[in-house]
Amino acid sequence: MNDMSSLIEDLWFQSEDGLKLHALAAGPRKPPGLPLICLPGISRTAEDFRVLLDAIAGDRVNPRRAIALDSRGRGLSDRDKNPANYSVPMEVKDLLAVLAAEKIERAVFVGTSRGGILTMVLAALRPQAIAGAVLNDIGPVLDMEGLLRIKAYVGKLPLPKSWSDAVAIVKGVIGKQFPAFDEKQWLDYVKRTWREGSGGFEPRSDPRISNALADIDPAKPPTPLWLQFDALGAAAPVLILRGEHSDLLSRETVAEMKKRGKAVQSIEIPGQGHAPSLDGTVTIKAILDFAARCS
């Protein structure tokens, strides 16, 4: 793939309640193809999509616009003074504000984990906005093993003293999920998790996002989102990416999703867990081919 990083730009938006929201964007502003909207995981940022944005910007066959959003409290978006606002309803409102500001009426959505939940909820509220959806290791049913693991570390990781220390910390919590990662991939991952400044390391996302996971309880599994997924499946084609070692999205849930949707496909990503990185050549090609079919 071409090195098109110089074509990635920063965008800024304002939320309904006055927060400044950040996004990364690439590709022509008025492309012939539908735009892609990329939504990261609960404590992740738009940086997770940088390689995908590069690929979209460098695609000469199907040029399109792509925008990767930093949800409130993540990346360069403002932190919220009220951590209760790190919620799916508020984040969907922010997403709608971005779509309105960019005058996007219809798009293909790529949602990793929390971003996939936002996509399913959006389908129930505004199905006409979705031309297609890539759900990256997320579905209507969330396995408790994965939820408890995520709850145990989101917003709670110690600050590293060096990049090698950062790799060791992250391997300690998700190492079993990604046995295929090499050292470069681990370093890339941790550099998207923390930033290094003059005062040392700091997380790229507000640690208080962990409040959104406070109610996770093995005795009270979260309500399945089958109504929202059914709305998505009725509105548009769906591509499910599942990590081979995922402890959040089971093969059984994927099978049920494929039964219920008219145009639901799935791909299992070998050697990865929750949630697969979107920087592999095969994965990127699958997403771009899917987007082309949706257009």
pLDDT digits (tens, 9 = 90+) for 72-114: 999 999 999 999 999 999 999 999 999 999 999 999 999 999 9
pLDDT of residue 197: 87
Residue ranges of the domains in the chain?
Answer: 5-155+205-294
For 43, residues 6+ apart whose C-beta sits below 8 A from its C-beta are 74, 154, 155, 203, 205, 209
Q: SS3 breakdown of the chain: % helix, strand, coil, rounded to 5?
A: 40, 20, 40
**What is d(CA 203, CA 198) in angstroms, rounded to the nearest whole number?**
14
Per-residue pLDDT at 1 exceeds 80: no
Q: Higher pLDDT residue, 167 or 199?
A: 167
Mean pLDDT on 202-216 = 96
pLDDT of residue 57: 84
Mean pLDDT on 6-18 = 92
pLDDT of residue 4: 45
Per-residue pLDDT at 138 exceeds 50: yes
Per-residue pLDDT at 2 exceeds 60: no
Mean pLDDT on 58-62 = 83
Confidence bin at 33 (pLDDT 50/70/90)? confident
What dihedral angle (degrees, nearest 10) is formed by the CA atoms of 166, 168, 174, 176?
160
CATH classification number, 5-155+205-294, choose in 2.30.30.360, 3.40.50.300, 3.40.50.1820, 3.20.20.140: 3.40.50.1820
Strand partners, 203: 194
Confidence bin at 62 (pLDDT 50/70/90)? confident
Strand partners, 135: 111, 240
Query: Do 209 and 155 meet the contact criterion of CB atoms below 8 Å apart?
Result: yes
For 47, residues 6+ apart whose C-beta sits below 8 A from its C-beta are 24, 75, 192, 204
**What is d(CA 35, CA 231) in angstroms, rounded to the nearest whole number?**
21
Mean confidence (pLDDT) of the chain = 94
Tokens 């690439």 locate to: 26
Confidence bin at 6 (pLDDT 50/70/90)? low
